């Protein structure tokens, strides 16, 4: 085998919960559930009975479209070569700022190293993959070649980047079970219905609001603010506002596992 140089790069799957047009046809359903009875079952018809014009909340990933070969026209995770004298965390943060103009993340962590010798053509590239999170209310200004895509419907991806997205999403879902990592996806203050939407989108299945509140309160993850949200158009009792007790990640129950029913 011919000798090839080795390049070390960082790639970051940046996730945010965003709204996309509902793509589920009437009559379809999904099986959903979670730890301690958090889950339930909701049909597509029930989803469509929700207020219109808002779209479906889904976990989205930030991707940029390649304009040059190799893999022209496919979509890539933001990232690039590790510089001399630069550590991996600094490289990941720099690449996000330079490539897609994302400068503020609420959470960033390395999740895996991808080292298949043939993962990309040309020089061998070892990729340190990162998980980055942006809160629901943030709206970064993006370059023209960069877009948010629902994780459930990725476009044609460059090289092994689709697998990296899947790995990062699985890491996020696992950490939602046993840490308070949802603080990095949520606004500073939120109603339980908003937090439920965030968990549903990030986990990929439905959760019950009452049981979610019970579990997170028991673990000391969320705290009531004493304030209420503004009433909606339909009126009714204003919803209580909560906040996350901590703004840094911590383990809340190392043996917990949120999962859909078998």
What digits encode the pLDDT tens for the residues 57-76?
999 999 999 999 999 999 99
Can you say whether the dihedral through the CA atoms of 55, 58, 61, 66 is positive or negative? Answer: negative
User: Which range has the worst mean pLDDT, 133-137, 217-221, 251-255?
Assistant: 251-255
Asked, for residue 74, whether it belongs to a domain, the answer is yes
**How far is residue 1's CA from residue 262's CA, in Å, rounded to a whole number?**
47
Asked, for residue 181, whether it belongs to a domain, the answer is no
Asked, for residue 34, whether it belongs to a domain, the answer is yes
Closest CA to 257 of 182, 176, 199: 176
**How far is residue 233's CA from residue 223's CA, in Å, rounded to a whole number?**
27
Give the pLDDT confidence of 196-217 residue by residue, as tens digits: 999 999 999 999 999 999 999 9
pLDDT value of residue 48: 30
Asked, for residue 208, whether it belongs to a domain, the answer is no
**How far is residue 83's CA from residue 105's CA, in Å, rounded to a whole number?**
21
Closest CA to 75 of 61, 88, 89: 61
Asked, for residue 64, whether it belongs to a domain, the answer is yes
Which residues, including other chains, have CB under 8 Å from residue 234's CB and lie 6 or more apart?
A: none
Identify the domain containing residue 93 by its residue range: 6-176
Q: Which two tokens stand for residue 108?
A: 């960033």
- Which H or E run includes 213? helix 209-218
Asked, for residue 83, whether it belongs to a domain, the answer is yes
CATH number at residue 123: 3.90.79.10
**How far is residue 102's CA from residue 127's CA, in Å, rounded to a whole number?**
20
Asked, for residue 189, whether it belongs to a domain, the answer is no
Asked, for residue 38, whether it belongs to a domain, the answer is yes
As for how many domains the chain has, the answer is 1
**How far is residue 103's CA from residue 22's CA, in Å, rounded to a whole number?**
30
> Does residue 127 surpass a pLDDT of 60?
yes
């Amino acid at each position: 085998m011919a000798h090839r140089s080795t390049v070390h790069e960082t790639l970051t799957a940046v996730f945010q919960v965003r709204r996309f047009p509902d793509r589920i046809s009437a009559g379809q359903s999904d099986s959903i559930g979670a730890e301690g009875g958090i889950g339930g079952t909701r049909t597509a018809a029930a989803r469509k009975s929700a207020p219109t014009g808002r779209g479906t909340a889904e976990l989205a990933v930030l991707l940029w479209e390649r304009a040059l070969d190799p893999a022209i026209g496919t979509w890539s995770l933001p990232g690039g070569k590790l510089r001399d004298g630069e550590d991996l965390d600094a490289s990941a943060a720099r690449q996000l700022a330079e490539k897609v103009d994302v400068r503020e993340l609420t959470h960033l962590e390395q999740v895996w190293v991808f080292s298949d010798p043939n993962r990309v053509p040309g020089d061998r590239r070892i990729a340190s993959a990162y998980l980055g999170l942006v809160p629901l209310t943030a709206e970064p200004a993006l370059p023209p070649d960069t877009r948010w895509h629902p994780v459930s419907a990725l476009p044609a991806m460059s090289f092994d980047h689709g697998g990296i997205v899947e790995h990062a999403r699985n890491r996020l879902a696992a950490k939602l079970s046993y840490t308070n990592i949802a603080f990095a996806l949520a606004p500073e203050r939120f109603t339980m219905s908003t937090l439920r939407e965030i968990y549903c989108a990030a986990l990929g299945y439905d959760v019950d609001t009452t049981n979610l509140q019970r579990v997170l309160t028991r673990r000391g993850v969320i705290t009531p603010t004493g304030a209420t949200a503004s009433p909606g158009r339909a009126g009714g009792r204003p919803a209580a506002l909560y906040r996350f007790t901590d703004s840094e990640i911590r383990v809340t129950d190392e043996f917990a596992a949120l999962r859909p029913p078998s």
